[in-house]
Amino acid sequence: MTYRPVNSISRQKLLDATRQFGTPLWLYDADIIRRQIAGLRQFDVIRYAQKACSNTHILKLMRDEGVAIDAVSLGELERALAADFKPEQIVFTADLIDGPTLAAVIELGIAVNAGSLDMLERVGRAAPGHNVWLRANPGFGQGHSNKTNTGGEHSKHGLWLSDLPAALEIVRRTGLKLVGLHMHIGSGVDYAHLSRVCGAMVDAAKMLDHDIRAVSAGGGLSIPYEETDPEIDANHYFSMWDAARREIEAHLGHAVTLEIEPGRYLVGQAGVMVSEIHAVKQTPSHLFALVDAGFNDLMRPAFYGCHHDISLIRSDGSSAPVDEMVEIAVAGPLCEAGDVFTVDAHGTIRGHTLPRPRVGDLLLFHDVGAYGAAMSSNYNSRPLSPEILTDGGELKLIRRRQTMSDLLALELHTV
């Protein structure tokens, strides 16, 4: 496609950003994040799954909007604290807990969402009276890829429903305080699975034989990556969970807080990755446009076969004439054949229809705010790319480009 507008980010702003900060770069739009938060306000608590995009400036934006926070590692706990979240606004979710993380959650009094009996036992023994959630695996899951399906018998996540009595035994024996039940069955959940998971939550709450104050619907709300993808109806999503919550309230005889824990839904559409074409190459099968970003930057296409819309602008900011449209394969600079962005789930190259590319053109990868920069690596010794946030028309550098000195410093003074 030719230039696809990035909502409130003008083409001029985009060019300014590339001139100022170079390519590749990540550019986020604060207005879109706020719009997405607004869509979920009916839930009592919106808890941001920061793994989607954990830059502290994005976390601060969330905090300013009254959003709570999920952390899945000691690093994410530290990020939440660095963004001035209070310990009571943080939940630590995992299936295991190591020594340093256990010490941190106990010292700070951060609630723990436990996905295994061993984790629960460890917290209970070390900190009787600690607030805990139980993350249950309802026995089925769903995901845009097998790799993002977090429910069912092949998933390592959550407590199997039949383990809930054993979990309660640990809770009672060690004096843990049970806050609530949590279910997250995967990313890219459809309404049929949603209705099943709501039913499973009601059943689990009824058979629990213990009081709870809250339930969490997990995350997994999808966003449209392709033109034909439907937009999630947040009202419908809420009404299904609200009905489940009401049934649980009727069973328990008191009010129950309803939480939602999205990552992608809040930030996915807010982000674009800008890259520059440095080479154009024709093989008998494909016309390749080779850009300066690789799967070390944006991993989703190579890892899951995910689609991201790609659009092109000329280096002077103009659109290319649409009568020159061709099928191109877009690939990166890594020394690895799989470093191609236009692939299906089997790694087969699929062309994208774009204006005939020229060296110096910019290629924009859309809807990469979630699991874009957050999944980047230093493969091929490529430094992490900068992140820029636009808010009220202003460009703000929220992470500078990593340098080779940053990387080499880790290897100095070793023995």
Minimum distance of ligand LLP from residue 372's CB (angstroms): 8
Residues 277-336 touching ligand LLP, rule: CB under 6 A, are: 300
From the list 118-126, 198-206, 262-270, 345-353, the region that binds ligand LLP by CB under 6 A is: 262-270
Q: Which of 124, 151, 180, 220 binds ligand LLP (CB under 6 A)?
A: 220
Question: What DSSP element (H or E) covers 196?
Answer: helix 191-207
198 catalytic? Reply is no
* Residue 334 and residue 376 in contact, taking contact as beta carbons nearer than 8 Å: no
Does 324 carry a binding-site annotation?
Answer: no
Does 153 carry a binding-site annotation?
Answer: no
Q: Which of 13, 57, 63, 264 binds ligand LLP (CB under 6 A)?
A: 264
* 83 exposure class (CB count in 10 Å sphere: 0-12, 13-18, 19+): buried
* Residue 291 and residue 331 in contact, taking contact as beta carbons nearer than 8 Å: yes
Q: Write down the H helix ranges in 50-143.
A: 56-64, 74-82, 99-108, 117-126
Question: Could you give the string, one character per residue 361-380, with x where binding to ligand LLP holds by CB under 6 A and - elsewhere?
Answer: ---------xx---------
132 binds ligand LLP (CB under 6 A): no
Does 191 carry a binding-site annotation?
Answer: no
The residue among 156 and 173 lying less far from ligand LLP, judged by its C-beta, is: 156
The residue among 224 and 317 lying less far from ligand LLP, judged by its C-beta, is: 224
Residues in the chain: 415
Residues 90-129 touching ligand LLP, rule: CB under 6 A, are: 93
Residues 154-213 touching ligand LLP, rule: CB under 6 A, are: 184, 187
Mention every residue, 6+ apart, whose C-beta is less than 8 A from residue 126: 102, 106
Residue that has been written with the tokens 């706020």 in this structure? 34
Paired residues of 45 in beta bridges: 259
User: Could you give the CA distance from residue 159 to residue 175 in angstroms, rounded to a whole number?
Assistant: 19
The residue among 56 and 187 lying less far from ligand LLP, judged by its C-beta, is: 187
Question: Could you give the string, one character per residue 221-250, with x where binding to ligand LLP holds by CB under 6 A and - elsewhere?
Answer: x-----------------------------
CA atoms within 13 A on the CB side of 133: 29
Minimum distance of ligand LLP from residue 284's CB (angstroms): 33
Q: Which of 85, 265, 341, 365 binds ligand LLP (CB under 6 A)?
A: 265
State whether residue 19 is helix, strand or coil.
helix
Does 261 carry a binding-site annotation?
Answer: yes
Mention every residue, 6+ apart, whose C-beta is less than 8 A from residue 235: 42
Minimum distance of ligand LLP from residue 267's CB (angstroms): 9
State whether residue 238 is helix, strand or coil.
helix
Paired residues of 182 in beta bridges: 135, 216
Q: Which of 53, 198, 306, 335 is catalytic?
A: 335
Does 400 carry a binding-site annotation?
Answer: no
Q: Which of 24, 263, 271, 369 binds ligand LLP (CB under 6 A)?
A: 263
The residue among 327 and 344 lying less far from ligand LLP, judged by its C-beta, is: 344
Q: Which two tokens stand for residue 355?
A: 């204006």
Does 294 carry a binding-site annotation?
Answer: no
The residue among 150 and 311 lying less far from ligand LLP, judged by its C-beta, is: 150
Nearest CA to 30 out of 5, 64, 77, 1 is that of: 64
Question: Could you give the string, one character per residue 3-32, with x where binding to ligand LLP holds by CB under 6 A and - elsewhere?
Answer: ------------------------------
Minimum distance of ligand LLP from residue 411's CB (angstroms): 28
The residue among 91 and 312 lying less far from ligand LLP, judged by its C-beta, is: 91
321 DSSP 8-state letter:
P
Does 259 carry a binding-site annotation?
Answer: no
* Residue 341 and residue 308 in contact, taking contact as beta carbons nearer than 8 Å: yes
Mention every residue, 6+ apart, whose C-beta is less than 8 A from residue 185: 137, 138, 140, 141, 142, 149, 150, 151, 152, 193, 197, 218, 220
The residue among 70 and 247 lying less far from ligand LLP, judged by its C-beta, is: 70
Question: How many residues touch ligand LLP (CB under 6 A)?
Answer: 19
Paired residues of 343 in beta bridges: 349
Question: What DSSP element (H or E) covers 271?
Answer: strand 271-282
Mention every residue, 6+ apart, whose C-beta is less than 8 A from residue 333: 278, 290, 291, 292, 293, 294, 339, 380, 382
* Residue 380 and residue 64 in contact, taking contact as beta carbons nearer than 8 Å: no
Minimum distance of ligand LLP from residue 52's CB (angstroms): 5
From the list 15-23, 84-92, 196-204, 260-268, the region that binds ligand LLP by CB under 6 A is: 260-268
Q: Which residues are catalytic?
A: 335
Binding residue positions for pyridoxal 5'-phosphate: 220, 261-264, 371
* Residues at the site binding ligand LLP, with contacts judged by CB under 6 A: 49, 52, 93, 148, 150, 184, 187, 218-221, 261-265, 300, 370-371
